[in-house]
Amino acid sequence: MYIDHQVAQKIVDRAMKIIDHNVNVMNHQGVIIGSGDPERINQLHEGALHVLNAGAKIDFNTDEAQTLTGVKGGINIPITNEGQIIGVVGITGEPDKVRKYADLVVMTAELVLEQAMLTAQVRWDRRLQESVIMRLIEGNWQNDSLFNDRVERMNINLDVPRVAMIVDLRSSETQKDVSLSTIQGILHLLEKRDPDTLLAISSPTQFVILQKIQMHDDRWLYQKGKEQQRMYCQQLEKQPGIEFCISMGQFFPDTEGLAKSYQSALRTLEVGQISYPGEKLYSAREMLLDLILKESLESWSGPQLLADYEKLVQRDTNGSLQKTLQVYFAYNTDFALTAKNLHVHRNTLRYRLEKINDILDIDLKNLQDLFRLYMATRLSEWDKQSY
């Protein structure tokens, strides 16, 4: 391990809050990288070189210091880490006066170093975990020895059943990206709730959760998954300055299924933000029809349904027939409720439905025709919202 400028200056600042003397920190090359005297930064400290060579504390009085480059009177002590000397800390002043502070300053240096090492290790572990998660959701990680080594190092159990959730974050004020520190803080908060949960930042506005789920007889307890999703929602609602939505993918068995789960969550998020912009929680299972509609738009079937439905749109100059269909389907084709909510007589409703039959050359009493029209109606609404 090496001491950098930031850690060195932290050692200096903490030590000088305790003692009324200047403190310098030199690196493994004897260069001053932290000091209470800014003008001495980056100067060679020849006395530190002597300490590094001797591996022991050395005092320099004022006369001795004048014969060495970059040195003033004081005491210089090696800084060790895991039995190796990695730098030197010096206290400026007459050795007899400052010697009593030596142990205190060294202890301060070691505590700062220990904290820096722990922080670095946490960051390294975070990067390793995120690299594992990204490989899992991307797929094609099999037979990768480096990946397997990282999984083992992070003690991640790949046999645990998981489902992918995606959290999309925006600033409440700007509707743009939130800061990286904000996302990291939220990740830390969620990890404290459940250490077995795997989280990683997947884009500037999103992070992914590989949520451990509950199974019974090889069946996903879906409602338990919904409860977990709602718990995340409750925690995020407490965070100021953000807007968010959470998309939960479908569960697929085996570790290879995580990539499919992630893709289903991503697709669900995309469709949900268009179809249900006011909602915070989306689920692939509950939005399966919308997902099918989205996929149909990218093949020949969706445009075909829209083309057939366009015949109705062109003939429905005042929009009453389209409105009738929307209400008719909203009330599960209940004739009485549809008429009541449209504020029309039952004969009027019957006339409108028969007119729709004539225009589209279908029979709404036929289940297949009814379902095709429902799909076309829903697809038309979805298609309008996507532009």
CB distance 246 to 282 below 8 Å: yes
**Which CATH number fits the domain that encloses residue 105?**
3.30.450.40
Sheet holding 74-81, edge to edge: 32-35, 23-26, 84-92, 74-81, 58-60
Residue 387 pLDDT exceeds 60:
no
**Which CATH number fits the domain that encloses residue 277?**
3.30.70.270
Helix (H, G, I), strand (E, B) or coil at 298: coil
Nearest in space to 162 (alpha carbons), one of 246, 256, 68, 91: 256
The continuous run of DSSP H or E covering 264 comes out as helix 257-275
Chosen domain end from 119, 145, 171: 119
Query: What is the C-alpha separation between 80 and 281, in angstroms, rounded?
Result: 52
Q: What is the pLDDT of residues 226-245, one digit of tens each?
A: 999 999 999 999 988 899 99
Chosen domain end from 243, 263, 286: 286
Task: Examine the domain organization and report whether 222 and 337 are in the same domain.
Answer: no
282 within domain boundaries: yes
131 within domain boundaries: no
CB distance 26 to 32 below 8 Å: yes
Query: What is the C-alpha separation between 254 and 220, in angstroms, rounded?
Result: 13
The continuous run of DSSP H or E covering 170 comes out as strand 162-171
Mean pLDDT of the chain: 89
Task: Examine the domain organization and report whether 168 and 115 are in the same domain.
Answer: no
Task: Examine the domain organization and report whether 272 and 315 are in the same domain.
Answer: no
Q: Domain span at residue 33? A: 5-119
What would the two tokens of residue 139 be? Answer: 């797929």
Q: Tell me whether strands 281-283 and 242-248 are parallel, antiparallel or unpaired.
A: parallel
Task: Examine the domain organization and report whether 278 and 358 are in the same domain.
Answer: no
Selected residue with higher pLDDT from 348 and 381: 348
Q: What is the pLDDT of residues 204-232, one digit of tens each?
A: 889 999 999 999 988 999 999 999 999 99
Task: Examine the domain organization and report whether 303 and 373 are in the same domain.
Answer: yes
Task: Provide the domain count of the chain.
Answer: 3
Query: What is the C-alpha separation between 311 and 375, in angstroms, rounded?
Result: 15
Q: How many residues are given for the chain?
A: 387
Chosen domain end from 286, 314, 337: 286
Task: Examine the domain organization and report whether 251 and 371 are in the same domain.
Answer: no
Q: Apex CA 199: angle with CA 233 and CA 149, to 5°? A: 165
CA pseudo-torsion sign 9, 15, 17, 22: negative
140 within domain boundaries: no
Task: Examine the domain organization and report whether 212 and 315 are in the same domain.
Answer: no
374 within domain boundaries: yes
Query: Taking each helix axis from N to C terminus, what angle separates 335-342 and 320-330, rounded to the nearest 10 degrees?
Result: 130
Task: Examine the domain organization and report whether 280 and 173 are in the same domain.
Answer: yes
How many helices and strands, by DSSP H and E, does the chain display?
Answer: 15, 12
Query: What is the C-alpha separation between 377 and 328, in angstroms, rounded?
Result: 11
Helix (H, G, I), strand (E, B) or coil at 285: coil
What would the two tokens of residue 249 be? Answer: 């993918």
pLDDT band for position 386 (50/70/90)? low
136 within domain boundaries: no
CB distance 200 to 207 below 8 Å: yes
Q: What is the mean pLDDT of residues 328-335?
A: 92
327 within domain boundaries: yes
First to last CA, the chain: 55
| Confidence at residue 147, expressed as pLDDT on a 0 to 100 scale | 81
Task: Examine the domain organization and report whether 182 and 210 are in the same domain.
Answer: yes
Highest mean pLDDT among 60-74, 123-137, 168-182, 187-201: 60-74
184 within domain boundaries: yes
**Which CATH number fits the domain that encloses residue 369?**
1.10.10.2840
Strand partners, 170: 243
Task: Examine the domain organization and report whether 278 and 308 are in the same domain.
Answer: no
Q: What is the mean pLDDT of residues 56-75?
A: 90
70 within domain boundaries: yes
Selected residue with higher pLDDT from 382 and 359: 359
Task: Examine the domain organization and report whether 262 and 350 are in the same domain.
Answer: no
Task: Kindly tell me the burial class for residue 162, based on how many C-beta atoms sit within 10 Å of its own C-beta (0-12, 13-18, 19 or more).
Answer: buried
Residue 344 pLDDT exceeds 90:
yes
Task: Examine the domain organization and report whether 356 and 305 are in the same domain.
Answer: yes
Q: What is the pLDDT of residues 277-311, one digit of tens each?
A: 889 999 999 999 888 888 887 888 888 888 888 99
